[in-house]
Amino acid sequence: MNFDFENKVYVMGILNITPDSFSDGGENYSLEKAIIHGKKMVEDGVDIIDVGGESTRPGSDPVSLEEELARVIPLIKRLVEEVSVPISIDTYKAQVAKEALEAGATIINDVSGFKMDRDMAKVAGEKNAYSILMHMRGTPKSMQQDYSYKDLLGEVEEELQESIDLALEAGVTRDRLILDPGIGFAKGLEENVILLNNIERLKKRFNLPVLIGASRKKFIGTILNIENPKDRLEGSLAVAAIGAYEGAAILRVHDVKETARVVKLANFLRNYKK
């Protein structure tokens, strides 16, 4: 499996088999509902399905290793058999990632950038798995309680470099690395906006593809004065369009059908100007 990040923006669909995710918690909290939703995303044009078994919304409590495995492994096994798109595992636990890769997933999406479980880099290196390294400070439980930056971009870049080093030292080749600046993770409205306006800087700084995960997030609701995350479609699509045009390689989203249409147009416009 190879991606053409230079010429295409990929849509990653969020498939949370959790009761408490911030936007879609409980909607797919059964294997059969999750399979149905995964197939629907494929019909709607998704390029990658990102399976998650633990909410990482601000203030969320962790789940046990056993519970997370029980949620995600049966789902991944079914998806691998029933859909044709790559499967990503959204976890910061090395054992979950290991078993997910063995079940057929090909991408690790770690919100901690390999820092919460230091065995994660080893797991990724053994398989040379595609690895999405996200920037976050603290844990999902604590990340929004106390954060400050003197030099936001410089500090995010420095801390992403730490994650890159962990991956490379463990044997992950550079062509398998993808960076995520962590929109909404230890960030406020201002930090999120600055990062979204500097996608090209991150790309040039590291010469690596960048993933943007802004779908339905709080800063969109704050700007538009919309409380319910499910009512933030237009804002999410606006950020997706800007992200795609500014050079994001992957957009991680809830609303696949609408985003896929936006990305198709953004891809056309971006490639037309070359």
**What's the CATH code of the domain at 188?**
3.20.20.20
Query: Could you tell me what percent of the chain has a pLDDT over 90?
Result: 78
Residue that wins the pLDDT comparison between 225 and 63: 225
Would you state the structure tokens that stand for residue 14, as one six-digit string? 């969020």
pTM: predicted TM-score of the whole model, two decimal places: 0.92
Q: How confident is the model at residue 266 (pLDDT cuts 50, 70, 90)?
A: confident
Active-site residue 217, yes or no? yes
Q: How confident is the model at residue 245 (pLDDT cuts 50, 70, 90)?
A: confident
Q: Name the catalytic one among 252, 261, 264, 274.
A: 252
C-alpha 228/C-alpha 195 separation (Å) is: 24
Q: Name the catalytic one among 127, 187, 217, 218.
A: 217
Q: How confident is the model at residue 260 (pLDDT cuts 50, 70, 90)?
A: very high
Is 131 domain-assigned?
yes
Cα radius of gyration rounded to whole Å, the chain? 17
C-alpha 256/C-alpha 274 separation (Å) is: 27
Is 4 domain-assigned?
no
Looking at the structure of the chain, the number of domains it has is 1
Q: Which residue carries 């046990």 as its tokens?
A: 64
Is 125 domain-assigned?
yes
Domain range spanning residue 83?
10-272
Is 226 domain-assigned?
yes
CB 259 within 8 A of CB 240: yes
Active-site residue 174, yes or no? no
Is 186 domain-assigned?
yes
* H or E stretch at 134: strand 130-134
C-alpha 27/C-alpha 12 separation (Å) is: 18
Identity at 148, one-letter amino acid code: S
Is 3 domain-assigned?
no
Is 23 domain-assigned?
yes
Is 233 domain-assigned?
yes
